[in-house]
Amino acid sequence: MTTLLALAVLAAPAVGAPAPAFSLPSVGGKSVALTDHKGKYVVLEWTNRDCPYVKGHYDKGGMQATQAEAKKMGAVWLSICSSAPGKQGYMDPETYKGYLKAQKVAASDVLLDPDGKVGRLYNAKTTPQIVIIDPKGTMIYNGAIDNAQTDNPTPKVNYALQALSEAMAGKAVSVPTSRPYGCSVKYKD
Amino acid sequence: MRVEVTRVAPGRPFLAAVEIATDPHWHVYWRNPGDSGVPTRIAWSAPKGWRVEPLEFPIPRRFAPGGVAAYGYEGKTFFLARITPSTTPGGIAAKASWLVCSEACVQGGATVGARVPLGAVKPGPYAKALRSAHLALPRPGAGRLRARTGKGVTLEATFASPASWWKRAEFFPSESGAVDQAKPILATLQGGKIVFKMERSPFPEQRSQLKGLIVFASGPRRQAVQVETKLEKE
């Protein structure tokens, strides 16, 4: 039994498998659980405001536009910050509120994961990294936000929006995984 | 920019390198950056008719800040090219871009150049350092290779003349998407046969080949062979 439990903990959630349940406090102070959004598509975005790749996506408004588009399509967008206190990207909720306003972040909710529990549960490696969960709770995408770091990114593909629109149209997701690029998630040591 | 020679001659290749130096505990990335990071990129330019061959990146090291694997370089590293001049005079340049990380990450980039006038070829102050960096690059591996994928991925390598004194062999996949990189990929050396047992990548991509480096180490000494083999289905 002990062995089985250990295996269950070690096995990273995979595309096609159920997304693990979690609950985290939002920047606004409420508790947000994955089960709150059952029946909807949920996008998880790992973020760290000071990671240059995250900054690159936000400073030009690209991430906010992707968030707004996903919400328009009916999805819930949860940004998660797994930076530990003292590590890059960690902010107390009040500072975070100011950042969200200044940067016009368009996520449905922004969740704080300072002990890294949910990041580790999902085996999140980088910021930005995107995980998409379908209305049945199955993970349908895990990887990069787009193909900007592939060798020849033409045409440019936003993997998150592509996966959402394919799945919503009842099609198979053509790119269900990709290598997430960017900074490592700044977990607690 | 570091150059092997102070003057160059048409048709006679020489070594040039972009030197990237990081502070202690900071690293830039290999071609396959691992589970985070971004590859270092070097784009060379030279006068018309010159041949520029970017060489392999040096043998990377493995870092795991906060448990997330990274392949790259700390300290001073030469990113080499072999350049063969034509009769057209001019200088050489390289545009480098990198992501450098420790706890935090910073994007960087620079364009560097060197004047390399045509004339009597003479070694410059960096000749020795560049030649030894060149000798230390990963080399094509002369051995029998077999890679199979099923539930996991297995790589078997048999070398004709194994150096028995190597204490450790580690596999560095040069493309992501084939195998899990979260933990060091270590082999037990059994005579000439080296077997790596790996997990599949959590971010799988369609791969028909397994490519990478087998890095042999004994204390601080390291040597790498390039391996590339068909990935057979089990």
A187 touches chain B (CB under 8 A): yes
Element (H, E) at A23: strand A23-25
Confidence of residue B163 (pLDDT cuts 50, 70, 90): low
Total residue count of chain A as it appears in this document: 189
The ipTM (two decimal places) reads 0.73
Contact B74/B113 with Cβ under 8 angstroms? no
Question: What residues 31-60 of chain A have any CB closer than 8 A to a CB of chain B?
Answer: 50-53
Residues of A in contact with B205 (CB under 8 A): 177-179
Residue A39: inside a domain, yes or no? no
Question: For the residues A102-125, what does the mean pLDDT come to?
Answer: 96
Collapsing DSSP to helix, strand or coil, A4 comes out as helix
Instruction: Indicate which CATH number applies to the domain containing A68.
Output: 3.40.30.10
Residue A82 belongs to domain spanning: 49-184
Check whether B230 has a pLDDT greater than 90: yes
Residue A152: inside a domain, yes or no? yes
Check whether B159 has a pLDDT greater than 90: no
CB contact under 8 A, A187 and B67: yes
CA distances from A37 to A43, A73, A108, A123, B206 (A): 11, 15, 11, 21, 32
Contacts of residue B112, Cβ cutoff 8 Å, sequence gap at least 6 = B1, B18, B93, B94, B96
B66 touches chain A (CB under 8 A): yes
Residues of B in contact with A50 (CB under 8 A): 104
Residue A8: inside a domain, yes or no? no
- Over residues A30-75, the pLDDT tens digits come to 999 999 999 999 999 999 999 999 999 999 999 999 999 999 999 9
Domains of chain B by range and CATH?
A: 2-135 (2.60.40.1250), 139-233 (2.60.40)
Residue A99: inside a domain, yes or no? yes
Here the tokens at position A77 are 């967008």
Q: Mutate one of B102, B105, B181, B205 to test the A interface: name it (highest A CB count within 10 A).
A: B105
CB contact under 8 A, A179 and B177: yes
Number of domains within chain A: 1
Residue A36: inside a domain, yes or no? no
Contact A110/A81 with Cβ under 8 angstroms? yes
Burial class (CB in 10 A: 0-12, 13-18, 19+), A9: exposed
Search chain B and give the residue with CA nearest A189: B66
CB contact under 8 A, A184 and B66: yes
Confidence of residue A102 (pLDDT cuts 50, 70, 90): very high
Residue A166: inside a domain, yes or no? yes
Share of chain A above pLDDT 90, in %: 86
Search chain A and give the residue with CA nearest B182: A125
Q: What are phi and psi of A37, to 5 degrees?
A: -110, 20
The residue among A57, A39, A82 whose CA lies nearest residue A158 is: A57
d(CA B154, CA B157): 10
Residue A129: inside a domain, yes or no? yes
- How many Å separate Cα A30 from the centre of its chain? 19
- Over residues B43-54, the pLDDT tens digits come to 999 999 999 999
Check whether A5 has a pLDDT greater than 60: no
Q: Which of B10-19, B152-161, B218-227 is predicted with the least confidence, judged by mean pLDDT?
A: B152-161
CA distances from B147 to B141, B158, B174, B190, B233 (A): 15, 12, 15, 17, 9
Shortest alpha-carbon distance between residue A100 and chain B (Å) = 21
Question: For the residues A176-186, what does the mean pLDDT come to?
Answer: 92
CB contact under 8 A, B38 and A126: no
d(CA B160, CA B117): 45
Shortest alpha-carbon distance between residue A174 and chain B (Å) = 11
A126 touches chain B (CB under 8 A): yes
Q: Could you say which of B35, B101, B105 has the minimum Cβ distance to residue A125?
A: B35
